[in-house]
Structure 1
Amino acid sequence: MAERLIQSIERAADVLELFLAAHQDLSVKEISDKLGLSKSTVHGIIKTLEYRGYLEQNPDDLKYKLGLKLFELGNRVVNNLDLGKIARPIIKELVEDLMETVHLVVFERGEVIYIEKLDGPRALRIYSQVGKRAPIHCTGVGKAILAFQEEEEIERILSNTDLQSFTEYTLTDKEDIKKQLRTIQEQGYSIDDEEIELGLKCVAAPIFDHQGKVIAAISCASPKIRLSEEKLVEVIKVIKLAAAKISQSMGYNAEHALV
């Protein structure tokens, strides 16, 4: 494949990607120095990109920045993304690997909604079903999403949520929930240990979009008796990896996410 690459296009891509890494406007000389290209070569690339709207020049210091054409293209990509379509093969692979039920939920106005559910071969009848809303304070998927909201949003959601107790293990005190959320944020995953249904244990991880915002979560649900310590470690690992794959496909970049 490498022999079919067009060098001029490769160099143009290098110039554009340089702006992603630099996070600042750049002059022809700065681009030339960073890429190890002659100023005349860089100048030709930049002028072409500017003409097509991919770069813009600041008339005050004559430095260049990314243009609106890239913003338009980026929006088109984001609008074409389909979370369910992207996640479906990953969910199927998870079920085949873990032999347990896997869920995908989205975050909508302070609530979580199941949009995908694929049962494992030994699935039990449990609370979840596609289209159903899930409590945000005591489900793995709900807590995985809630933990990565701004502090003010967490406070608002908890203050406007009926912190209902479903089992003896459900946390209903707002401060206790906040403490648990801080731990979830640190470790990058959440666990529902019989909080929504006795005998049920879930591991969930958040899914981020191109702006670095949590938009969804994925989880593995299993009877607690089947989740030994060894199996739990495995489930946590693969669920976090699956969430990261979906996030990346949704345009998320931990280093360059917009805020």
Structure 2
Amino acid sequence: MAASEQAERTGGVQSVTRAFQVLEAMAESDGRISLSALATACDLPLPTIHRLVRTLTDLGYVRQEPSRQYALGPKLIRLGESASRLLGTWARPHLAELVDTLGETANLAMLDGDRVVYVGQVPSRHSMRMFTEVGRKVYAHCTAVGKVLLANLPAEQVQEILRRTGMPAQTEHTITDPERFAEELDRIRERGYATDDGEQEVGVRCVAVAVPGGPAQMAISISGPVTRMTDELVARAVPLLQKAAAALAADLTQRS
């Protein structure tokens, strides 16, 4: 839908609609794009794109690269961090319910570029529990949240992410072979959840599901020591995680 049609349909201001259309197009192109490609992606005349990008650059939301391509600017980081904190607050009741029911630490994570960032957590009440600092970024290939998020992406995009980050071994259990990892993603797609069996940290097991239809690629998980995260607990956790993920998605839809 063209920006003018979208603004008319929503009763919005056309220039604002177009500015966000530009930012979203840049994000979808991995954060860097030429003016001509932006014009094509946004279905707008090149002079219009030039004016929008120049204004966004002056405001710090876009920056020009030495290659003369344009990239998302540093001011968006502050907005993203504030949005992530708010997202974690909204998710907290759903995470707390999981902790009350299952007894293990519950987490909310999202795809941030090529990595996964934790944006919300409610810790277990056990004295020995898992703790991940909110804001921490991790590789996607060795975490349950990362794997379930990658499983929702096109294979070509997954390959590009892994090409950029590599597949470093965090433990002896980390999957580092691309073909084996592709098979793992196929299994995740079939069963609807992902597990991390000591692949990020020895002695820790995690199970995660994706949040359906959210504003970003997000996943909910529970994690704990392998002595408590038995196959029986994982089987019990999966439908509860799916229920929590659907409830969070509904909450976010109502707030948007």
The answer to whether residue 225 in structure 2 is matched with residue 223 in structure 1 is yes
The answer to whether residue 251 in structure 2 is matched with residue 249 in structure 1 is yes
Mapping of 1:168-247 within 5 angstroms?
168-209=172-213, 215-247=217-249
| Pair 123,242 (structure 1): closer, same or farther in 2 beyond 3 Å | farther
Structure 2 regions of 5+ residues with no counterpart?
18-82
| Pair 231,125 (structure 1): closer, same or farther in 2 beyond 3 Å | closer
The answer to whether residue 155 in structure 2 is matched with residue 151 in structure 1 is yes
| Pair 244,168 (structure 1): closer, same or farther in 2 beyond 3 Å | same
Separation in 1, partners of 2:93, 2:241: 14
Residue of 78, 85, 90 corresponding to 1:86: 90
Corresponding residue for residue 69 of structure 1: 10
| Pair 125,232 (structure 1): closer, same or farther in 2 beyond 3 Å | closer
Secondary structure (helix, strand or coil) at the match of 2:217 reads: strand
Structure 1 regions of 5+ residues with no counterpart?
1-55, 57-66, 253-259
Aligned residue pairs, count: 182
Q: Report the CA distance between 1:229 and its aligned residue.
A: 2.8
Secondary structure (helix, strand or coil) at the match of 2:142 reads: coil
Separation in 1, partners of 2:145, 2:111: 10
The answer to whether residue 146 in structure 2 is matched with residue 142 in structure 1 is yes
Mapping of 1:16-27 within 5 angstroms?
none
Separation in 2, partners of 1:117, 1:228: 21
Separation in 2, partners of 1:192, 1:230: 15
Q: Report the CA distance between 1:125 and its aligned residue.
A: 5.7
CA root-mean-square deviation = 2.8
Corresponding residue for residue 46 of structure 2: none
Secondary structure (helix, strand or coil) at the match of 1:202 reads: strand
Corresponding residue for residue 97 of structure 1: 101
Q: Report the CA distance between 1:239 and its aligned residue.
A: 1.1
Q: Report the CA distance between 1:129 and its aligned residue.
A: 1.4
Separation in 1, partners of 2:12, 2:157: 28
| Pair 120,127 (structure 1): closer, same or farther in 2 beyond 3 Å | closer
| Pair 105,204 (structure 1): closer, same or farther in 2 beyond 3 Å | same
Q: Report the CA distance between 1:128 and its aligned residue.
A: 2.3
Is the Cα–Cα contact under 8 Å of residues 105 and 114 in structure 1 kept in the other structure?
A: yes
Q: Report the CA distance between 1:100 and its aligned residue.
A: 0.8
Separation in 2, partners of 1:165, 1:210: 30
Partner deviation per Cα, 1:5-29 (whole Å, 9 max, x = no partner): xxxxxxxxxxxxxxxxxxxxxxxxx
Is the Cα–Cα contact under 8 Å of residues 209 and 250 in structure 1 kept in the other structure?
A: no
Corresponding residue for residue 113 of structure 2: 109
Q: Report the CA distance between 1:231 and its aligned residue.
A: 1.7
Secondary structure (helix, strand or coil) at the match of 1:251 reads: helix
What is the one-letter code of the residue matched to 2:97?
A: E
TM-score (norm 2): 0.63
Partner deviation per Cα, 1:214-258 (whole Å, 9 max, x = no partner): 521111001111123322211112112111211222339xxxxxx
Is the Cα–Cα contact under 8 Å of residues 208 and 250 in structure 1 kept in the other structure?
A: no
Is the Cα–Cα contact under 8 Å of residues 149 and 218 in structure 2 kept in the other structure?
A: yes
Secondary structure (helix, strand or coil) at the match of 2:253 reads: coil
